Structure 1
Amino acid sequence: MTDQAAAPPGKLDAAVLKIAGVVVLGAIMSILDITVVSVALPTFQSEFGATYAQVAWTMTGYTLALATVIPLSGWAADRFGTKRLYMLALLLFTAGSVLCATAGSIEQLVAYRVLQGLGGGMLMPIGMTIMTRAAGPERIGRLMAVLGVPMLLGPIGGPILGGWLIEAASWHWVFLINLPIGVIGLIYAQLALPKDEPHKSEAFDFVGMLMLSPGLALFLYGVSSLPEEGTITATKVWTTMLIGTVLVVAFVIYSFKPKHPLLDLRLLKNRNLSVASISLFVFVIAFMGAGLLFPSYFLQVRGESTLDAGLLMAPQGIGAVLTMPIAGMLADKIPVGRTVPFAMTLIAVGFFGFTQVGTDTSYLFLCGSLFVMGLGMGGTMMPIMTSALRTLQPLEVARGSTLVNILQQIGGSIGTAIMSVILTSRLNGSPEVPGAVNPQTGETFTEADIAIANNHGANIPAPPEIIERGLQFAADSFSTTFWVGFALVLATFIPIAFLPRKRRATPPGAPGEPAVEAPILMH
């Protein structure tokens, strides 16, 4: 056994980098899966003869599974050990991927995506726990930067890889691509991760689980049903959201009673963790929700192929790759409250470009906007997560990672639902074309429906002026939706204004603060 704390501050030795490599593989798998599937939704529609609302459940089912299993991650990491739990998550995710490729109906695909989500939900919180314990609080910013660059292969490569696989092979390979990565990840994890030394088991909070996991799942189910129903007054939306909210609120009230609750909200007494968590939550609502619409604009309004839409998204990832290593090094030296506002300004400037989209907006302008946004992303997400986790004691890291991941997941789901509802309601306002009926749904096509469908070779007969009006209406709908996203981005400046702007000298082992150079033993 070697003492990793003996490494010079800010330096990452080979042993830590070897462990980081395991987490990188798992992160790439989970991120690739989200971005690859997002460009495959139109293919699922035609392949299974399903509506968009039905195929959207391939994303929603995955999200609900994540929400159910994430709260268990902190307790399970302490009880069973991070190595075997991480390998179990990899195994579930890989098995779910292979099963997805065998699906013969949209219902089967959604069911297998749920299995995938059970594994994917544990990958990120357990991975963050592993790397935070390995690096120690003084090196977490540098490690986040090292991990962040390859993790961006998901957002950059996902749409490109998904588009290429669908065009060159078939949709099945969107999921089969995870098989070789998963096998390599399992072997690598067995060899590289230190032997588990689980803590003596604390009592499992069954009461908390019966409130929190179903509560999160029901709330997110209601939120995710918004695009399909089109209004929050729909029974399926408001009833599930209300029951879910009641269960989550009941858990919050209850969670301060047991000594070891399922989700330790007492950690939020740590000001750095609470401010960083709120900042991350608002940021994810703003960016993740609108971020899924960027490729949709290229696909629907501009008529690009899935491969070309993926390539057009690449500048965003390239920008983030350039700034993330710098931001990681700065996070270990300069309080994030001084750097994150500048990065958020870049995101706002880049995002503003998409509020101006039309039917023929310059690709140079849009790719430039994505690049500027990427530069800001590289200096935002990882530094905020660093601020959230670095002040936790080693034994608090698993629970802190779980808390941060739950807030991210809820924020992403809310953001996606908000943007989808606004875009869908706008598109539904397009004038109907008399006599043009959708054979799948029996509904009358709108001008926007015909224009978007013809962009992808559907060849629905219509006069050129109808198609032109439909495309313009669709572009205006995207523009309006991006204005809402832009407003949410501006709202993010409020919580980040409270991020720490000064480095505080604290005594070793102070409550809620890291012990200076606390030794972390690794094999």
Structure 2
Amino acid sequence: MPANSAGPEPLGRDLLRLMGVLLAGASVALLDTTIVAVAMEELTRAFGTTVRTAQWATTGYLLAMAAAIPLLGWLTDRWGARRVWLGTLWVFLAGSALCGLAWSIESLIVFRVVQGLGAGLILPLVQAILAGAAGPQRIGRVMGLIGIPGQLAPILGPVVGGLVLGSLGWRWIFLVNIPLCLLALALAHRHLHPPPPRGRARLDLTGALLLVPGTVAILAGLTLADDLSNSPTTAVGLLAGGAALLAGFVLHARRRGEAALVDLRLFRYRSFSTATVMMFLSGASLYGPMLLLPLYYQQARGVPVGEVGWLVAPQGLGLMAGLWVAGRWADRGGPRIVALTGAALACAGLGVFVLAGGAPLPVLSAGLVALGAGLGGIGVAVSATAYRDLPAAVIPRATSLLNVVQRIGASVGTVVVAFVLHRLLAGLDTATAFAHTFAWALGFAAVAALVMPFLPATAPAPPPPADTHDTEARTTTCEP
């Protein structure tokens, strides 16, 4: 395995402090989605509405997140990462307070959209700020470490949500975000000092009117397609309209060049192009099994709903371990070997459910640990590759594009496995139907493995001595 004989550049106290400051804000968004999911039944009773209507409080939130992401690059260029971070936290705080004061399901849905507009920028901003501060020599370890708390959210969210819901009521599901946001704002005001904005960047209004609704329409269409009780007409119409808008954006962006809302010339960087394809496939590989696993344990193994969370937890534990190890490995040996190892582990984990779905639960748990570790390795390798050759100035716009692609890939993965499972359950016994559907999820991981040989085989070269001041500038973006 090729390695950097000088050893990777140390993270340093300033970069670790920056990670802590950003995690204080990111934790709010990470916990919010899973906390609110627990309250859906209570919201249905409180507002006297149906589950389908109440579900729009979550769907509207997710679509608002998707709408905000394409604007990240322009907002950061125009006002700088610090102002955008603070503004994003304030929007999320305001949305949380309004949700806690909601008087009807309609008002709650509207306020969840406000909350989602803030949440949509929080995690991509964390990614963009840290990618710029870390540089290519440290990006693997940084993305690995920053990803570990994200894996705790699906585990802690339902627990915290249940405690808050049982003791304080549904309004505090949202109001609990306020002190957390205020803490994150105080830390950012004191410590966060990233580079100043590039200047008065003009908004590509035409591009925004094409890309933002196009992305939302695609994701909304895939969401409706995922619900097989819906008529396919609406979903097909949204998907066709979204595809037309995105095609229009591509034509527009090619004419606008770097002035476009998202600069498509980023695809001239081979490493970024490869990482974008991998981001789509890894999104499908991660979220497809996330949909299948709870259903499998309930329908094929007869596990009570309350115990399912404990049985899928080994995947999260494996993912955290994979992120930790892969982050260090990617910075030393390069992304390719990390991704290939991750693909082997993920395929082995999914293979357990394809070939031995009737095995004892400990065997399935071992498969989940392998699946999680493999997906963690793939995720770190993709991040290390995506930012490897990019100039610092284009990182926010590149982050927007990567996040949009990942969300579409995740939606495609869930729609495909839901459709396949629905069709197979109509003609096969439950165990066989799930085994065949897991084989489709395995196919996503196998296709991703075919792209991995195009990832860089070596770790990034250390910067020349003349660039030492650039490294110092990156690591002083968080002051004590």
Shorter-chain TM-score above 0.5: yes
Q: Which residue number in structure 1 is paired with residue 238 of structure 2?
A: 240
Q: Cα 1:370–1:39, aligned 2, differ >3 Å: closer, same or farther?
A: farther
1:205-226 per-position Cα deviation (integer Å, ceiling 9, x unaligned): 1111111111111121111111
- 1:416 equivalent in alignment to 2:368: no
How many residue pairs were aligned? 467
Structure 2 SS opposite 1:413 = helix
Cα pair 1:160 1:310 within 8 Å, conserved: no
Cα pair 1:157 1:314 within 8 Å, conserved: no
Q: Cα 1:168–1:495, aligned 2, differ >3 Å: closer, same or farther?
A: farther
Deviation at 1:281, TM superposition (A): 0.9
1:448-505 per-position Cα deviation (integer Å, ceiling 9, x unaligned): xxxxxxxxxxxxxxxxxxxxxxxx9666654443332222222221222321224576
Q: If the length of structure 2 is used for normalisation, what is the TM-score?
A: 0.86
Q: Which residue number in structure 2 is paired with residue 343 of structure 1?
A: 342
Cα pair 2:8 2:137 within 8 Å, conserved: yes
Q: Which runs of 5+ in 2 are unaligned?
A: 1-6
Structure 2 SS opposite 1:380 = helix
Counterparts of 1:80-479 in structure 2, within 5 Å, are 80-103=79-102, 105-163=104-162, 165-166=164-165, 170-194=169-193, 197-228=196-227, 234-258=232-256, 259-298=258-297, 302=302, 304-306=304-306, 308-355=307-354, 362-424=360-422, 429=426, 478-479=434-435
Cα pair 1:79 1:200 within 8 Å, conserved: yes
Deviation at 1:189, TM superposition (A): 1.2
Deviation at 1:286, TM superposition (A): 2.3
Distance in structure 2 (CA, Å) of the matches to 1:377 and 1:257: 37
Distance in structure 1 (CA, Å) of the matches to 2:121 and 2:69: 6
Q: Which is further off, 477-486 or 283-292?
A: 477-486
Q: Cα 1:221–1:148, aligned 2, differ >3 Å: closer, same or farther?
A: closer
Cα pair 1:275 1:498 within 8 Å, conserved: yes
Q: Which is further off, 80-89 or 27-36?
A: 27-36
Q: If the length of structure 1 is used for normalisation, what is the TM-score?
A: 0.80
1:518 alignment partner, one of 450, 470, 474: 470
Cα pair 2:331 2:460 within 8 Å, conserved: no
Counterparts of 1:7-46 in structure 2, within 5 Å, are 10-38=9-37, 41=40
Distance in structure 1 (CA, Å) of the matches to 2:209 and 2:72: 15
Deviation at 1:24, TM superposition (A): 1.7
Q: Which residue number in structure 2 is paired with residue 442 of structure 1?
A: none
Paired amino acid for 1:304:
P
**Larger RCO: Structure 1 or Structure 2 (Cα < 8 Å, ≥ 6 residues apart)?**
2
Q: Which is further off, 148-157 or 496-505?
A: 496-505
Q: Which residue number in structure 2 is paired with residue 3 of structure 1?
A: none
Q: Which is further off, 138-147 or 71-80?
A: 138-147
Distance in structure 2 (CA, Å) of the matches to 1:203 and 1:237: 34
Q: Cα 1:12–1:216, aligned 2, differ >3 Å: closer, same or farther?
A: same
Cα pair 2:217 2:242 within 8 Å, conserved: yes
Deviation at 1:345, TM superposition (A): 1.3
Distance in structure 2 (CA, Å) of the matches to 1:168 and 1:353: 41
Deviation at 1:172, TM superposition (A): 4.5
Distance in structure 2 (CA, Å) of the matches to 1:51 and 1:422: 27
Structure 1 SS opposite 2:457 = coil
Counterparts of 1:41-56 in structure 2, within 5 Å, are 41=40, 53-56=52-55
Distance in structure 1 (CA, Å) of the matches to 2:37 and 2:325: 30
Q: Cα 1:224–1:98, aligned 2, differ >3 Å: closer, same or farther?
A: same
Q: Which runs of 5+ in 1 are unaligned?
A: 1-7, 431-471
Deviation at 1:52, TM superposition (A): 5.4
1:24-65 per-position Cα deviation (integer Å, ceiling 9, x unaligned): 223332232333445555665666666554444343322211
Cα pair 2:282 2:378 within 8 Å, conserved: no
Structure 1 SS opposite 2:470 = coil
Q: Which is further off, 99-108 or 385-394?
A: 99-108
Deviation at 1:402, TM superposition (A): 1.3
2:438 alignment partner, one of 462, 477, 482: 482
Paired amino acid for 1:368:
A
Q: Cα 1:504–1:16, aligned 2, differ >3 Å: closer, same or farther?
A: closer
Deviation at 1:137, TM superposition (A): 2.4
Q: Which residue number in structure 2 is paired with residue 456 of structure 1?
A: none
1:245-282 per-position Cα deviation (integer Å, ceiling 9, x unaligned): 01101111110212411001101110001101111111
Distance in structure 2 (CA, Å) of the matches to 1:515 and 1:224: 47
Deviation at 1:392, TM superposition (A): 1.1
Distance in structure 1 (CA, Å) of the matches to 2:129 and 2:463: 25
Cα pair 1:322 1:375 within 8 Å, conserved: yes
Structure with the greater alpha carbon radius of gyration: 1
Paired amino acid for 1:500:
P
Q: Which residue number in structure 2 is paired with residue 495 of structure 1?
A: 451
Structure with the largest fraction of helix: 2
Q: Cα 1:413–1:45, aligned 2, differ >3 Å: closer, same or farther?
A: farther
Q: Cα 1:45–1:367, aligned 2, differ >3 Å: closer, same or farther?
A: farther
Q: Which residue number in structure 1 is paired with residue 65 of structure 2?
A: 66
Structure 2 SS opposite 1:212 = helix
Distance in structure 2 (CA, Å) of the matches to 1:52 and 1:474: 26
Structure 1 SS opposite 2:202 = coil
Distance in structure 1 (CA, Å) of the matches to 2:24 and 2:417: 30
Q: Cα 1:502–1:9, aligned 2, differ >3 Å: closer, same or farther?
A: closer
Q: Which residue number in structure 2 is paired with residue 440 of structure 1?
A: none
Identity across aligned pairs (percent)?
33
Cα pair 1:53 1:227 within 8 Å, conserved: no
Cα pair 1:90 1:119 within 8 Å, conserved: yes
Cα-Cα RMSD: 3.2
Structure 2 SS opposite 1:333 = helix
Deviation at 1:407, TM superposition (A): 1.0
